[in-house]
Amino acid sequence: MYHILCAPHTHISYNALLFGAEHANNNMSSSSFQKSSSRRKAQRNYVDSKVDIGTKAVRFTRLDEFIVRALRLKSERLFVFKKNNKTRKDGGLKKVLNASDLVVIGVGGIVGAGVFVLTGTAAKENAGPALIVSYLIAMCASVFTALCYSEFATCAPTSGSAYNFISITFGEVFAYITGWNLAIELTVGGAAVARGFTSYLATLFGLKPDAMRVKIIEHAIELDFCAFLLVSAMTLTIVRGMEQTKNFQFVVVTLAMATIAFVIIVGSAEVDVDNYTPFIPPEFGWQGVMSAASVVFFAFIGFDTVATLAEETKNPGKDLPIGILGSLAISGILYCAMAGVITGMVSYEQIDVDAPFSVAFTKNGIPWASVVVSCGAIFCIVTSLLGCLVGQPRVYMAMARDGLMPKCIANVSETYGTPVNASILTWALTGVLTLVFDIGILAQMVSIGTLTIFCGVNLALLVRRYTPKDVRFDDMNARWPALSRALYLLIACLSLCFSVTYELELVLQILSAIAVCYTILSFHLYGLKTFPQTNGFCNAPNTQTQFTAPFVPLFPSLGVLATSQLIVSLGSLAHVRFALVCLIALASYVAMDYVRCCEYYEIPSEEEEEKA
């Protein structure tokens, strides 16, 4: 890791390495290194630096200093300072959102057009009438992760969401990779949603779904001008201010909820209770119910968008948990009601997987209702797209503030109080994907990236609760107990899910289940033994101003288990894609760090060295 230039067997701790790096950086900013025309920029942190520490000389290699930067932890005190001191002139965002605004934005982000298709598909192919139970299971699994998001968002009430949560607990390089996956989730997901708008608009006018696109290369390049105009209009609304954005979202969500209410009320009048028998079809069984829960879990993705708006929330300690958990609960109730209606209107065997509700209404003598369904799908698409376009700029802004993107991305408009540059970047990326490409393959990458982020946030909460606040990344005496247990928990959960999914030996399944239970118990016993004065937690939230996730370590561990099951179920091809994305992100981080060092550090010219 580093080289000692004195006694061959002398050992210096990594604390010394950190001190040496800081000492070297301070020397670089001394008066002898003041700016001059003859100065040349150089990769200061990529040349070996010899620094005296006491009576010993230590040589730091470029790898040493890179590791220091990559694994350093962001301090939670930074977020408290920003919360108490940041003003509009300092680059802060306008605080205009309350709990009801967050609930509306959250519901709009969760309930997409898929509710009109996914419900029917899962009922016919996986669970039958028992799809209601599948939705309840999926909602409970989502709640575990939502509770972790709520606690983190109130403890770090600034833009960035999971990017900041991972940065606090695992370090900058892991946060950067998380930021990449968030970018894929929101950018690619937003583009996929926007292209769906064109499909539903075409069917509303009696055309084929792809009739309004200009095909250049089949299933590869298909120009979609309608979707591009929608993305542009949404971006313009977002740039003009959060006040206008929340008002627009309220109107569109109201229209979307009205169409869903129409489907539920009118459809309920056509329900035949005989269609609920058998409730759990024998060809599916409980395995089918659980499989359907895995499928419909993705219908709850979107609540994390609320966490990205923490900096614009008036009272984050109170409003954010209401926004995250409230939107999740409302969405779950709507999904269960939709599942009950579709499986009651027609037998699950007769459900049309392409247009379940439209066909069901037609079979029951209400063909005109299909128009209402198409309108509802369009409204849901608009709300989902707005959630993606609102969340992504705030992630970019958080990364730019940390120097992981150009600083100009973090600029906030003095007129509108929004991250204009970050919003324009989001528009450019999402708009190009929307306009040019058929992104069906890319859209498949969204699921595993999102699930990995959810899993990481659950693990991060466990690590945070059992690690001292603002600990140095190299203080492994304080960090290792929680980090090691989190690693063991992840391995045990993946082993259990893999063995169950692929029906491996029963002994392996039992041993994996025992390992999961033992690891959860070890968290609890470690906390009680080490931190008895604080109820078994080293770093618990302030209950007066922050939300506290209940039943830790049980609920976060169940969140890890639930997301692990879904990650395993996605198949090896998705895992390979995810690994490639992470490798590309890591390579870009190394390149970005190289550029960052060139920008922030200079060395003197030879003449200046001689004078010094």
What SS3 class is residue 131?
helix
Return the higher-pLDDT residue of 453 and 48.
453
| Mean predicted confidence (pLDDT) in 562-577 | 86
Least confident of 211-215, 407-411, 557-561: 211-215
Q: Does domain 76-570 have CATH number 1.20.1740.10?
A: yes
Report pLDDT digits (tens) over 401-453: 988 999 899 999 988 889 999 999 999 999 998 888 776 655 656 778 888 99
pLDDT digits 0-9 by tens, 287-332: 889 888 888 888 888 888 999 999 999 999 999 999 999 999 999 9
User: How long, in residues, is the chain?
Assistant: 612
pLDDT 10s digits, 97-127:
999 999 999 999 998 767 877 888 889 988 9
Give CA–CA dist 281/122, Å, rounded. 13
User: What is residue 383's predicted lDDT score, i.e. its pLDDT?
Assistant: 92
Report residue 323 CA to chain centroid gap: 16
Residue range 494-519: mean pLDDT, rounded: 94
Backbone angles phi, psi at 14, to 5 degrees: -70, -20
> What are the extents of the domains in the chain?
3-71+592-611, 76-570
Per-residue pLDDT for 38 more than 50? Answer: no
Contact of 166 with 460, CB cutoff 8 Å: yes
Strands 602-603 and 49-53: unpaired
- pLDDT of residue 51 exceeding 60: no
pLDDT at residue 9, as a whole number = 35
Q: Where are the beta strands (DSSP E) in 350-413?
A: none
- pLDDT (tens digit per residue) in 167-186: 999 999 999 999 999 988 88
Greater confidence, 20 or 156?
156
H-helix or E-strand containing 147?
A: helix 131-155
Place of tokens 């509108």: 416
Average pLDDT (189-210) is 83
What pLDDT shows up at residue 34? 39
Contact 422, 391 (CB under 8 A): no
482-520 burial, b if ≥16 CB within 10 A, otherwise e? bbebbebbbebbbbbbbbbeeeeeeeebeebbebbeebb
Torsion, Cα of 274, 277, 281, 287 (10° steps): 120
Percent of the chain with pLDDT over 70: 84
pLDDT in tens, 324-376: 999 999 999 999 999 999 999 999 999 988 778 888 888 888 888 888 888 88
Count CA within 13 A, CB hemisphere, residue 64: 23
Q: Could you tell me the pLDDT band of residue 75, with boundaries at 50, 70 and 90?
A: confident
| pLDDT of res. 87 | 47
What percentage of the chain exceeds 90 in pLDDT?
A: 49
DSSP 213-244: SEEEETTTEEE-HHHHHHHHHHHHHHHT-HHH
73-77, 112-116, 205-209 — which is least confidently predicted? 112-116
Higher-pLDDT residue of 101 and 77 is: 101
Non-local (6+) Cβ contacts of 458 within 8 A are 144, 145, 148, 556, 557, 559, 560, 563
What is the structure's pLDDT at 28? 37
